[in-house]
């Protein structure tokens, strides 16, 4: 039997219409649709985004990816997920993995794909690009992410003060992902540098319950969800 194909599909950051035409076509044609399992028995973010696009005959398979840093726990989860996906591929089913945002931008899919390739080098994997959170946030803010020769630095997480200071020295635009747990420390650095007025927080960009915080000097304490990012314009470029 011919092996099925595993597709990593970018489904965008919240608004279901942000999936590409190609992503939607492949998603709806897949026999099996997988996505990261939600927490506390709630649907996951990618699952919610694609729910309106799913077809009655499709089988949905949530995959468990724990939110931990322990490498052993993570690898064991990737292997279990890979084994589940492989079972379907071996039976000739095409499997679509729905990825929040863009599939190549800090995505769990990368680990799943790497684990599968290591275990089964014959596996066929294709990805479909899409909208990632920095571009979605810029759109929510009604501003370009970058213009002209501006340099952009994206810090993915757990940045040290020194890392952030270096980024602010080097780039005109700095985007901080996973900012919720370090917001207070970041706020202090931005205050010291006089950058609070040219910084924005976008929470749940393109979702129906998205929030935007302008002028952060009035927001020293924000309780943010995991799906939040902070965008800093270090130099004001004339637009
Ligand atoms: C593991 S990364 C995943 C990035 C995702 N693949 C993408 O393309 O944006 C998770 C971080 O991305 C950012 N993020 C993802 N979706 C977001 C959204 N809708 N609004 C704001 N930030 C978001 C947050 O900073 C979050 O902590």
Identify the DSSP state of 206.
Answer: T
Closest CA to 136 of 167, 177, 85: 177
pLDDT score for 159:
67
User: Which residues, including other chains, have CB under 8 Å from residue 76's CB and lie 6 or more apart?
Assistant: none
pLDDT score for 235:
73
CA-107 nearest atom, ligand 1: 6
Distance CA 108, CA 78 (A): 9
Which SS3 state, helix, strand or coil, does residue 212 take?
A: strand
What separation in Å is there between the alpha carbon of 3 and the centre of ligand 1? 32
pLDDT in tens, 85-95: 999 999 999 99
Q: Is 133-233 a CATH 3.30.950.10 domain?
A: yes
By mean pLDDT, which of 16-30, 140-154, 159-173 is the weakest? 159-173
Question: What is the number of alpha carbons within 13 Å of residue 109 lying toward its C-beta?
Answer: 27
Cα torsion for 128, 110, 122, 85, to the nearest 10°?
-90
Ligand 1 atom 5: residue of nearest CA: 101
User: Which residues, including other chains, have CB under 8 Å from residue 160's CB and lie 6 or more apart?
Assistant: none
What does the mean pLDDT of the chain come to?
96
pLDDT over 70 at 105, yes or no: yes
**Where in the chain do CATH 3.30.950.10 domains reside?**
133-233
Four-way CATH pick for 5-128: 3.90.600.10, 3.10.20.30, 3.40.1010.10, 3.40.50.720: 3.40.1010.10
Ligand 1 atom 6: residue of nearest CA: 101
Closest CA to 9 of 84, 96, 82: 96
> Residue 238 — very low, low, confident or very high, per pLDDT cuts 50/70/90?
low
pLDDT in tens, 120-156: 999 999 999 999 999 999 999 999 999 999 999 999 9
pLDDT score for 157:
84
Which SS3 state, helix, strand or coil, does residue 86 take?
A: helix
**Where in the chain do CATH 3.40.1010.10 domains reside?**
5-128
pLDDT in tens, 57-74: 999 999 999 989 899 999
Distance CA 231, CA 197 (A): 11
What separation in Å is there between the alpha carbon of 40 and the centre of ligand 1? 20
Ligand 1 atom 21: residue of nearest CA: 228
pLDDT score for 80:
98
CA-157 nearest atom, ligand 1: 27
Please answer whether residues 187 and 173 qualify as being in contact, where contact means their C-beta atoms are separated by less than 8 angstroms: no
Distance CA 199, CA 12 (A): 23
At residue 186, what are phi and psi to the nearest 5 degrees?
-65, -45
pLDDT over 90 at 173, yes or no: yes
pLDDT score for 41:
87
pTM above 0.85, yes or no: yes
Residue in this structure with the two tokens 């985007």, named with its chain if needed = 175
Binding-site residues, ligand 1, Cβ < 6 A: 13-14, 100-102, 105-107, 132-133, 136-137, 177-178, 202, 204-207, 226-229
């Amino acid at each position: 039997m011919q092996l099925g194909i595993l597709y990593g599909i970018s489904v965008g950051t919240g608004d279901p219409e942000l999936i590409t035409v190609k992503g939607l076509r492949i998603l709806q044609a897949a026999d099996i649709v997988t996505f990261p399992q939600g927490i506390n028995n709630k649907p996951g973010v990618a699952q919610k985004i694609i729910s309106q696009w799913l077809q009655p005959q499709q089988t949905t398979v949530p995959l468990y990816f724990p939110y931990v840093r322990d490498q052993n726990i993570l690898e064991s989860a990737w292997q279990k997920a890979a084994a589940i996906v492989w079972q379907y591929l071996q039976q000739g089913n095409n499997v679509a993995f729905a990825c929040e945002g863009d599939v190549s931008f800090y995505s769990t899919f990368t680990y799943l794909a790497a684990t599968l390739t290591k275990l089964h080098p014959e596996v066929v994997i294709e990805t479909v690009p899409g909208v990632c959170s920095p571009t979605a946030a810029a759109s929510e803010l009604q501003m370009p992410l970058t213009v002209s020769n501006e340099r952009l630095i994206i810090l993915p997480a757990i940045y040290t003060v020194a890392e952030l200071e270096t980024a602010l020295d080097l780039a005109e635009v700095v985007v901080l992902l996973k900012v919720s747990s370090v917001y207070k420390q970041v706020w202090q650095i931005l205050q010291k540098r006089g950058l609070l007025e040219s910084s924005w927080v976008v929470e749940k960009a393109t979702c129906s319950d998205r929030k935007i915080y302008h002028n952060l000097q009035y927001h020293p304490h924000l309780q943010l969800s995991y799906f939040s990012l902070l965008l800093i314009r270090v130099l004001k470029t004339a637009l």
